[in-house]
Amino acid sequence: MPAPLTTPAAATVFTMVLTQGPVSRVEIARRTGLSSAAVTKAARPFIEAGYLEELEATDRPGPGAGRPASPLAIKPDREFFAGVKITDDELIGVVTDLRAQVLVGAHRPLTTSSPEGVVATLADLVAELLAADPAYRQRCHALGLAVSGDVDKAHGMVRYSPFLNWRQVPLAKLAAAATGLRVTVENDVKSLTVAEQWFGEGIGASSFALVTVGVGIGCGLVVNDRIVAGSHGVAGEIGHIPVGGEAPECHCGGRGCVEAIAGTAPIVTAVREALGDAELTIDAAIDAAHAGDVAAREVFARAGHAIGLAMAAMANLIGPERIIVTGDVQGLAAYDLFEEQISRSFASQAFGAAADCRIFLRPRPFEQWARGAASVAIQTFFTLQER
């Protein structure tokens, strides 16, 4: 059943209750500038459709101001959403409620990276997730997919995903046909940024950045309460800021990119060369650095320097209130090896008050990236301009 969303006022009211509620009509009017009558009119269809409910009155607007205010609150089990994070070797899926709380999760290994093979496995995974509770199948109509790379969200197209070796894949169309759900496809870092903006560390910050460290180096941006998507769907790609001169070459075709220095694969390559071990894994590289190997630690310090410079460049341009640093398991396992150099390089390159931007480390397992995909599905479901 489509959400009862017909006007900008309806989108504004529902989004505020979803992300900041329970909240009274009086408070909604104060924060949004809408009249009390407009708030009531916007909320009524959501209440009638079961998305919102009125709680018992808990406070009075003020002496002589009339009856107590009755806060509006989300009914989280009114609608469920599926989200899947697609990696090069695995699918991680979740079902969430309206507040993006994860209710059930599952993993499926990928034996092929072909779009057809991935979509077939995806359909099986989604069927398994929705079978966990009859209510999921009845009240889940939307699926969000998070993919690394250049994604055209408006058309559901993966234009380029280096880790899957995909180009111009109409993923939303393929996944919708396979699952029967409405499908939204978004870049994985932007998906995680949406989850932080609506349901996490970004609540209350009109401008913030999310930086991810791991296989790739990504960045999601929120400026003036809106995700920065870019006119071509590409924005915040700090992994491809050139900080290393003419070397090394990056998979994007550029040279000296942050990702070509600080991504997992180039770190492994550099530590292998430094230690003379062609079979070294990323875990072994991290262990060697933690054990005090000077050559290995220098590789991680160089990576931290590159990340810090890129974060400073982003802060100088955007001026975020805060930067949330997260990543995959291996990226965060190595974060203490980056941290000091990131902070030092950021502070040395950030201009003026940009250097005062607070940096937070927030580990996020892959299930949270799948939650990010579900969050994009929630946002799309209840955001007028996306419909």
Lowest mean pLDDT among 39-43, 118-122, 143-147, 182-186: 39-43
What is the per-residue pLDDT for 387?
Answer: 43
Is 64's pLDDT higher than 70? no
Q: Nearest to residue 207, comparing CAs of 322, 316, 317?
A: 322
What is the per-residue pLDDT for 97?
Answer: 97
For the stretch 140-166, pLDDT in tens is 999 999 998 889 999 999 999 988 999
Is 291's pLDDT higher than 90? yes
What is the per-residue pLDDT for 3?
Answer: 63
Q: What are phi and psi of 303, to 5 degrees?
A: -65, -45
Q: What is the mean pLDDT of residues 50-55?
A: 92
The domain 8-74: what is its CATH number? 1.10.10.10
Cis peptide before 22 (omega within 30 of 0): yes
What is the per-residue pLDDT for 231?
Answer: 76
For the stretch 184-232, pLDDT in tens is 999 999 999 999 999 988 888 889 999 998 888 989 999 998 888 877 7
Mean confidence (pLDDT) of the chain: 89
For the stretch 301-352, pLDDT in tens is 999 999 999 999 999 999 999 999 988 766 677 888 988 899 999 999 999 8
pLDDT above 90 covers a percentage of the chain that reads: 66
CA distance 196 to 198: 6
Q: Nearest to residue 326, comparing CAs of 239, 209, 183, 164?
A: 209
User: What is the 3-state secondary structure of 101-118?
Assistant: CEEEEEEEECCCCCHHHH
Q: Where are the domains of the chain?
A: 8-74, 78-194+368-386, 202-361
Domains 78-194+368-386 and 202-361 share a fold: yes
Domain 78-194+368-386 superfamily per CATH? ATPase, nucleotide binding domain (3.30.420.40)
What is the per-residue pLDDT for 233?
Answer: 67
What is the per-residue pLDDT for 4?
Answer: 66
At 125 the three-state DSSP class reads helix
Is 290's pLDDT higher than 50? yes
pLDDT band at 179 (very low <50, low <70, confident <90, very high): very high
CA distance 28 to 41: 13
What is the per-residue pLDDT for 279?
Answer: 93
Q: Report in angstroms the alpha-carbon separations of 30 from 26, 38, 59, 148, 287.
A: 6, 12, 16, 39, 54
The domain 202-361: what is its CATH number? 3.30.420.40
Lowest mean pLDDT among 29-33, 204-208, 261-265, 359-363: 359-363
Q: Which residues contact 326 (CB under 8 A, 6 or more apart)?
A: 192, 210, 211, 212, 213, 332, 361, 362, 363, 364
Q: Which of 383 and 110 is assigned the larger pLDDT?
A: 110
3-state helix, strand, coil in the chain (%, to 5): 45, 20, 30
What is the per-residue pLDDT for 365?
Answer: 78
What is the per-residue pLDDT for 157?
Answer: 96
Q: Nearest to residue 26, comparing CAs of 34, 157, 18?
A: 34
What is the per-residue pLDDT for 192?
Answer: 94
